[in-house]
Amino acid sequence: MAETTAPTVLPRGFRGAQEGWPELHRIPRPPYRVPLAGDVIGSSKDTPVQDSMRLARRLGPIFRRNAFGKEFVLVAGADLAADLADEARFAKHVGLGVANLRQLAGDGLFTAYNHEPNWQLAHDVLAPGFSREAMAGYHTMMLAVAERLTGHWDRAAGAGRAVDVPGDMTKLTLETIARTGFGHDFGSFERSRPHPFVTAMIGTLDYAQRLNAVPAPLAPLLLRRAGRRNAADIGRLHRIVDEVVRIRRADGGGEGDLLDRMLDTAHPDSGERLSPENVRRQVITFLIAGHETTSGALSFALHFLSLNPGVADRARAEVDRVWGGSAAPGYEQVAKLRYVRRVLDESLRLWPTAPAYAREARADTVLAGEHPMRRGAWTMVLTPMLHRDPAVWGPDPERFDPDRFDAPAVRSRPPHTYKPFGTGARACIGRQFALHEATLVLGLLLRRYELRPDPGYRLRVTERLTLMPEGLRLRPERRPAPAPAPAGPSAD
């Protein structure tokens, strides 16, 4: 059943599972369905992902939910997710939360429909901005931003104060993408409150999530005030990115970063360039996609490190061994932090900060040989449950164990079982950027501080399409500087 069809245009708007899944009745659903409202019992508009995780535990590897007549299918099992990774039969589906972001980002890279020509154009123009060479060029700027963070944490450590981890990681990752990609400084570390870009972004992400929790025809009425705030947030985001572009144009160009590519680079084959409207959409897309999820990934990793001193000690020993006393680790020295990277991988396993991705059938097909789907029918992979499937991750998938990502363990697992960055042609373009940045920052923080948890803290996960550990605070304590590295090749 591997017929490939050209990605012809499918109808837009919400496509209910009733239309596309002829044997929907075989897919389990929650037992108590409220007329009109749907599966609302025990669910909250604020925690759709965590509610779905609870349902997956009860209902199994594939199940459906209904919210105000919108019926959709979720996949939590590894076999099903692996089948959905078959690019010949399935493609990205722009639906639910992602579709709600089109008001903001239109046919920007993340929110574009597969058939929109600007996806391929922007992908081809921007992909070289993530080559190894480009990444090596960002490294020094990443280090400079990380120093702003350690300056801030040194002051907290000196005063015995706790730090606001998600707040600080958001400052760090926003400044990093803004400076490396756009030559722009938002001055986040000089501000006592989040930059208006962050506040407006959180507003729009939150609104996009809330739109799913009300009947579509009633949204303008039920979310009237929130809709007005959302329009204001979008206006603010547009004004901020227009200013970033205006400054660049006034400067007559930058140093070949992402913004230069967006403004000046023609497609290598067609010679086509991004239109000004599309540039605005890409700048918003990259400023948001380029920092929000990395901030969450770093925050969760720091949470797990603070709770697992044995893991933190091992990671720290690796940093001391590989980096020695070098004040500024080089680009190549970051990839050598294999264990620190495993800490990050394992954090993204338990809490993948972009917690779902949707796939649609390119042609009539049968999912995993069991569930017929018509062309255009779609489902959502619930990544945190894919990452907890006991058939892949063993009987205790909740246990935090970075050794799940050592090379033999990774080789022993079937493909397509770990998907924090999505899958296929529409997978994350910024994956290497995020992993380099986050490994570098974890290395720097581990080397410099002991991370003491707040004894009263219990993990609460906030959802705004992305995931974040709410209210996480840690108490950093300065460590003595490590001795200079011994000469000769490192063991790792």
Kindly report the CA angle at 488 between 486 and 491, in degrees rounded to 5?
90
Determine the straight-line distance between the first and last CA of the chain, rounded to whole angstroms: 45
Residue in 428, 433, 439, 466 annotated catalytic: 428
Bridge partners of 142, per DSSP, are none
What does the H/E/C string look like for 139-151?
HHHHHHHHHHHHH
Does the protein bind ligand HEM through residue 422 (CB under 6 A)? yes
Does the protein bind ligand HEM through residue 27 (CB under 6 A)? no
Nearest-angstrom CA–CA distance, 434 and 177: 10
Residue in 182, 286, 421, 433 annotated catalytic: 421
Which residue in the set 62, 177, 237, 340 belongs to the binding site for ligand HEM (CB under 6 A)?
177
CB 73 within 8 A of CB 21: yes
Nearer to ligand HEM, 29 or 139 (CB): 139
> Judged by CB under 6 A, which stretch of 204-212, 223-231, 286-294, 390-398 contacts ligand HEM?
286-294
Nearer to ligand HEM, 209 or 293 (CB): 293
Residues tagged in the binding site annotation: 428
Does the protein bind ligand HEM through residue 123 (CB under 6 A)? yes
Nearest-angstrom CA–CA distance, 222 and 215: 9
Residue span 347-376 as binding mask against ligand HEM, x where in contact by CB under 6 A, dash where not: -----xxx--x-------------------
145: left (phi over 0), alpha (psi -120 to 50) or beta: alpha
Positive or negative, the Cα torsion across 382, 386, 388, 389?
positive
Does the protein bind ligand HEM through residue 285 (CB under 6 A)? yes
Nearest to 173 by CA among 257, 286, 282: 286
> Judged by CB under 6 A, which stretch of 36-44, 60-68, 384-392, 427-435 contacts ligand HEM?
427-435
Does the protein bind ligand HEM through residue 105 (CB under 6 A)? no
Residue of this chain nearest to ligand HEM (CB atom):
430
Nearest-angstrom CA–CA distance, 38 and 418: 31
Q: Which residues 391-420 are close enough to bind ligand HEM by CB under 6 A?
A: 420
Q: Is 293 a catalytic residue?
A: yes
Q: Is 428 a catalytic residue?
A: yes
> Judged by CB under 6 A, which stretch of 81-89, 242-250, 282-290, 319-327 contacts ligand HEM?
282-290
> Shortest Cβ distance from residue 218 to ligand HEM (Å)?
26
Coarse DSSP helix, strand, coil percentages of the chain, rounded to the nearest 5 percent: 50, 10, 35
Give the amino acid at 366: V
Count CB neighbours of 12 within 10 A.
Answer: 11
Does the protein bind ligand HEM through residue 166 (CB under 6 A)? no
- Read out DSSP for 425-441? GGS-TTHHHHHHHHHHH
> Shortest Cβ distance from residue 157 to ligand HEM (Å)?
26
Q: Is 72 a catalytic residue?
A: no
Does the protein bind ligand HEM through residue 384 (CB under 6 A)? no
Which residue in the set 289, 440, 472, 474 belongs to the binding site for ligand HEM (CB under 6 A)?
289
Residues that are catalytic: 293, 421, 428
Residues that bind ligand HEM (CB under 6 A): 92, 98, 109-110, 123, 177, 285-286, 289-290, 293-294, 297, 352-354, 357, 420-422, 426-430, 433-434
